[in-house]
Structure 1
Amino acid sequence: MQNDDSIDRFFRSGLKLPHLRILVALAELGQITRVATAFHVTQPAISRQIAEIEQAMGVSVVNRVGNALEFTSIGEVIVTSGREILRQLELARRDVQALAAGTGGHLRFGAVATIPEPLIADAVQLFLRRAPSASLSFVEGTLDRLIKMLDEGELDIAIGRNRVATAQTQLRQESLHSESFVFVASAHHPLGQFDKTVEWNDLRGCRWITPLHGSPAYATLIETLSAHGIVPGASNVESSALSLNITLLTRGEFVAILPLSTARLHAMRGHMRILPLPPLEPLTEIVAYWRVDALRGAELLFVECLKEAANEIRKE
């Protein structure tokens, strides 16, 4: 009962943000000396903070194992919750900072069709929450078209799947996220049975949904299939529209490639199977492009929202 009272009292009035920051940092860095360096304090100061937590609650949060420290089950719970609390505080700080800055204006951005929809939707929601007086417009197109629109001042930011070679010194390119394209088939497709072994030869004779001819994704897919002696037949569909591709895939007639995050979502729902074949690694990168000389407050904020949304995808 005494421990229960101490724990309750600690969480009601004794817990401080520095406690959470120290425990989370210890979980990430592994050693008190590294945590002390990161916080620019002495090692005994960090040890005192940990002792203060344990004394206030009446339970241990770390155990010494030789020269190392390991979290107890109670410590693990505090660290897990602490990470989320600190993350939410950081989100609040960004929201308040953006609102205080009064960011407004009209943002124009575009993306190629193979960008996972959650990344774009999450970035838009973050942006509108932090800049409620702003508006935005979105276009979907091929990367060459989007870059041309950037050059001509018709877009502020573009999102694509690969870096571009350009003599335009004002064009900035920054990687947002990296994920593979994977081979998929409907759960109703002969290759979609989860207990079935799948090899490259099993793709012969399949009907394909391929990216648009001439796109980097198309070239990578055809090159990969050709290396295994596979040539897609005539009865294929060329499409970079994710919503159409997913609808066709779930009806069971086709195989295709999809971004891993998109494929994993539909596989978890039981709609399709990620085939046990090597992913298409050359298509891993998601890149944001913008003209440095045209970036203002709203555009800078949206780039930050894109990075934050991409970071959330990586955690899933």
Structure 2
Amino acid sequence: MTHPPSTLANLIQRGLRLPQLRLLIAVADLGQISGAAAQVGITQPAASRMLAELEQTAGTPLLHRHPRGAGLTAAGTLLVRSARVALRDLETAFASLDTHAQGTSGLVRIGAVTGAGLELILPLIRDMRVTHPEIEFDVMVETSDVLADALLAQRIDFYLGRMLPGAPARDITAMPIGAEPIALIVRKDHPLTRSPKPALADTLAYDWVMQSQGGLMRHAVEAYLLDRDLAPPQRTLSTSSLVLTLAIVSDTDVVAPVARSIADVLFAPDRMNSNISILNVAPDMAVGPYALICRRNAALTPAAARVLNVLQTRITDRGRGAAGD
């Protein structure tokens, strides 16, 4: 009996039952078998038999009876100490299982392209941290091709992005959201910010920072320029890093296309600490529509299913709001 937890495990293997532990704890608390029996909802004779069976399983006396009631032996004290811990841990575990089953706790793995992450996922997490604080979020911000691979490999539960050509359509579902507007950004002291009415063509006199060839945003920008008889930028630095893009824009006269939602959040005019400005050109430039992408018939955890439902509702409400404008 020098290691109560292991002793308790051995007793369980030999037939120890949880009602016996609850009864023994009640005797320890009340000092009477009759009172303990009433507390756990059985008769006194049944309680006496249950305690006798427990002592037989333990192989040692756990109680000493006296005219005024019953007290614990040294072995009984050790067992009650372990029993209290075990029952408390079980209650905590069952409570956790209950919240997990209800979708009020657990890990949710979300993927998003950068713009959608700021526009939809950030407000979602902010609100759900208030309503469901036990839900944990793991957010992967990447390009759509990386997110698609992560979804099919079951490393994320769902993502906001695009379904790429060649994706196994039978294995996924897509809830359309809309196009992703693009903004052109420059540093605040850029020569174009001093022009009263800069034109899109004026930006082509400067270097650009863009996605690598084949990137969806780069393709959208180049197609937009060509549709207006403008040649794509002649001098470009290619990177998929938003951090590197912003650092270069802040220190040089380059022009960079970014998701409009990023520009609105980080570089709005009322953010006086920003060193970056949004050029008022090409307001209709956009990447093609993106969507909420899920694995078809995926077995989501209750928490992931709850978050997905909230996100779907917000997307639906967003569409109704846009239709009403």
- Give the TM-score normalised by the residue count of structure 1: 0.57
Paired AA for residue 196 in structure 2: K
* Correspondence for 2:295: 291
* Correspondence for 1:7: none
Paired AA for residue 241 in structure 1: S
Contact 1:123/1:306 (CA < 8 Å) preserved in 2? Answer: yes
Shift in alpha-carbon separation, 1:244–1:291, aligned structure 2, 3 A: same
Provide the secondary structure at the position in 2 that maps to 1:237: strand
Alpha-carbon shift at residue 207 of structure 1 (Å)? 1.0
* Correspondence for 1:174: 175
1:300 aligns with one of 296, 305, 318: 305
Provide the secondary structure at the position in 1 that maps to 2:114: coil
* Correspondence for 1:216: 216
Contact 1:104/1:298 (CA < 8 Å) preserved in 2? Answer: yes
**How many pairs were matched up?**
214
Provide the secondary structure at the position in 1 that maps to 2:284: coil
Paired AA for residue 197 in structure 2: T
Contact 1:116/1:262 (CA < 8 Å) preserved in 2? Answer: no
* Correspondence for 2:148: 147
Distance across 1 between alignment mates of 2:115 and 2:211 = 9
Structure 1 unaligned spans of 5+: 1-97
Provide the secondary structure at the position in 1 that maps to 2:176: strand
Query: For the pair shown, which has the larger CA radius of gyration, 1 or 2?
Result: 2
Shift in alpha-carbon separation, 1:259–1:126, aligned structure 2, 3 A: same
Alpha-carbon shift at residue 287 of structure 1 (Å)? 1.8
> What does 1:174-253 align with in structure 2 at a 5 Å threshold?
174-176=175-177, 178-193=179-194, 195-227=195-227, 228-234=229-235, 236-253=236-253
Distance across 1 between alignment mates of 2:224 and 2:107 = 42
Structure 2 unaligned spans of 5+: 1-98
Cα shift readout 1:225-284 (whole Å, capped 9, x = no counterpart): 3443323234x3223333433343233521121222332341423630333224323x15
Range 289-298 or range 175-184, more displaced: 175-184
* Correspondence for 1:120: 121
Contact 1:179/1:260 (CA < 8 Å) preserved in 2? Answer: yes
Alpha-carbon shift at residue 305 of structure 1 (Å)? 4.0
Once superposed, what is the RMSD of the aligned Cα atoms? 3.2
Contact 1:182/1:279 (CA < 8 Å) preserved in 2? Answer: no
- Give the TM-score normalised by the residue count of structure 2: 0.56
* Correspondence for 2:70: none
Distance across 2 between alignment mates of 1:222 and 1:176 = 23
Distance across 1 between alignment mates of 2:213 and 2:114 = 14
